[in-house]
Amino acid sequence: MERIEIVEEICRDLLASLGEESMYHNLNHTKSVVNMAKKLGVESGLDESRLELLLSAAWFHDCGYINGGAEGHEERSCILVDEELSDYFTDLEREKIKNAIKATEWPQNPSSNIGELLADADVHTLGTKEFDEVEAQIFLELRQTSHPNLNRDQFIEARLDMFLGYEFHTAIGREYFQQDKDKNIARMFNEWRFVIQNGK
């Protein structure tokens, strides 16, 4: 079995323990990020060794949700990397994987190429037709976990604070997603402004 197959098997087992309240940060999201990370990595010319590290980071990046909520989940994911992968990856390789995972922590501040690619893959739906569905899932997840009293207006305002000026880190990410991301966020802003102006 190849190493990336081992990583996938480990992460599928870990993520299987998540409850129904994890409406977005779950196996489906992880698979979406892995697939997009692979696409971006291949098209940006990563060699096989760096692509393997990128995909390993993508598989593990949200595993920290299994033993806690959103806050600090990146660090918990990194701990799991060391616990689960010490027999398969060298210390240096695990450090690169963890560095890429930390690039997904908000506000994103990637310090490596694979970190930039993973950061872009993690939020790529900002610039796709899946935007509305994903935002609805995140809203419901927050309501069922850490913010039970969160209303739609508060959620939109928080998301706008995060993403109004957001730019993808890689050239390929900007090429694929930036224009539609700007349109999606502009539409969200107009919705929020209408609600504020009309008091609804």
Q: Is the pLDDT of residue 78 over 90?
A: yes
Please state the domain count of the chain: 1
CA distance linking residue 126 with residue 159, whole number of Å: 11
Q: What pLDDT shows up at residue 196? A: 76
Give me the CATH number covering residue 71: 1.10.3210.10
Per residue in 105-126, pLDDT tens? 999 999 999 999 999 999 999 9
Per residue in 123-163, pLDDT tens? 999 999 999 999 999 999 999 999 999 998 899 999 999 99
Q: Is the pLDDT of residue 82 over 70?
A: yes
Where do the DSSP E strands lie in 104-155?
Answer: none
Q: How far is CA 102 from the centre of its chain?
A: 11
Q: Is the pLDDT of residue 171 over 60?
A: yes
Per residue in 86-110, pLDDT tens? 999 999 999 999 999 999 999 999 9
Helix, strand, coil tally for the chain in percent (to 5):
70, 0, 30
Q: Is the pLDDT of residue 14 over 70?
A: yes
13: pLDDT confidence band, cut at 50, 70 and 90? very high
CA distance linking residue 108 with residue 167, whole number of Å: 10
Q: What pLDDT shows up at residue 50? A: 98
Q: Is the pLDDT of residue 66 over 60?
A: yes
200: pLDDT confidence band, cut at 50, 70 and 90? low
Q: Is the pLDDT of residue 199 over 70?
A: no
Coil/strand/helix, residue 164: coil
176: pLDDT confidence band, cut at 50, 70 and 90? very high
Q: How far is CA 189 from the centre of its chain?
A: 22
Mean pLDDT of 177-198: 90
Q: Identity (one letter) of the amino acid at 171?
A: A
CA distance linking residue 74 with residue 63, whole number of Å: 8
Range of the domain at 33: 3-198
